Amino acid sequence: MMRLGTAPAEKPRKAGLPRHVAIIMDGNGRWARSRGLPRAEGHRRGVQSIRDVVRHATAIGIEWLTVFGFSSENWSRPADEVSELMGLLKLFIRHDLNELTRGNVRVRVIGGRDNLSGDIAALLIEAEQKTAGNTGLNLVIAFNYGSRDEIARATRAIAGEVAAGRLGAEEITVDLVATRLDTAGMPDPDLIIRTSGEQRLSNFLLWQSAYAEFVFVPDYWPDFDGAAFDRAIAEYLGRERRFGGLPQKGEAV
C-alpha cells in the first residue's frame, strides 16, 4: 500500500484516507449558464451536491469535511445573488438539520459572524448546538469566511490579550495562533479539492493549508458526486507528503 507521509506529531491514519478534506465548491454559475438556466438554479443544484458528498464522506469514514459556501468577498456579487445564497443556507439548515443530526454529523461553522443577519446567525448557532454531541462526520461550513479576515480577527484577539496583560508577546507561537483561528481544535486539511477548473485558493484556509495536497477537478460543483470524490482521494493517495522532511528510507528520491 502507498505510504502516506505524516508529520511526527500526527497519528497514523487508517487505510491512508485523508482525515480532513476541504472543498472549494466552485462553478455553480457556469453550470447554470451552460444549460441556459439562471445562476440561482446552479446554486440550488449545488446544495444537492453537498448532501451527496456529506453522505459519501460519512460512508467512507472521512472524519472532517469542510465546504466553502460563501466567502467574505462574495458580498461583492449582485444583491439578488447574495440574498439567494443567504436563503439557500437558511433552507439547508432548516431542511437538513434533522437528517444531519440523525446521521450523527457534527456541524461547525467558520467565518465572521458580526455582519450576518440575526436569523442566519441564530440558525448557525442552532446547527452547532443541536449537533454538538454527535460523534460521526465533522461537517465544517465555511460561511462568510475569508482567511485574511480570520487571521485579522485572531490577531486582534491576541493583541487584546497582550494589551490586557493576560498574554506575553513571547507566548505567541504557531500553536497559540492556531488556537485563536476559527478552526481552533480542528486538524489541518490534508486534501483540498476545488471544482470548476480554477486553480486558486480564493482566500480559503491560507494558514491551515500549509501542507495540504491540492486536487483541481474540471467538473462544475453541481456535477460533483461520490465518484468524483473517490477519484480525488485516489489522486491524493498517490502523492508523497514530506512536511519539509525527506522521503522515507528505501523510497525513490
For the annotated binding site for substrate, the residues are 27-31, 39, 43, 71-73, 75, 77, 194, 200-202
* Residues annotated within a binding site: 26-31, 39, 43, 71-73, 75, 77, 194, 200-202, 213
* 39-60 helix and 79-102 helix, angle to the nearest 10 degrees: 20
Q: Which is nearer to Mg ion, 26 or 188 (CB)?
A: 26
The CB-of-194 to ligand IPE minimum distance in angstroms stands at: 8
The site that binds ligand IPE (CB under 6 A) totals a number of residues, namely 18
* 39-60 helix and 226-237 helix, angle to the nearest 10 degrees: 60
Residue 68 as a binder of ligand IPE (CB under 6 A): the answer is: yes
Binding string, residues 168-207; x marks residues near ligand IPE by CB under 6 A: ----------------------------x-x-x-x-----
Q: Residue from 21, 23, 25, 26 that binds Mg ion (CB under 5 A)?
A: 26
Residue 85 as a binder of Mg ion (CB under 5 A): the answer is: no
Choose the one of Mg ion, ligand IPE, none that binds residue 30, judging by a C-beta under 5 to 8 angstroms depending on kind.
ligand IPE
Residues near Mg ion, by CB under 5 A = 26
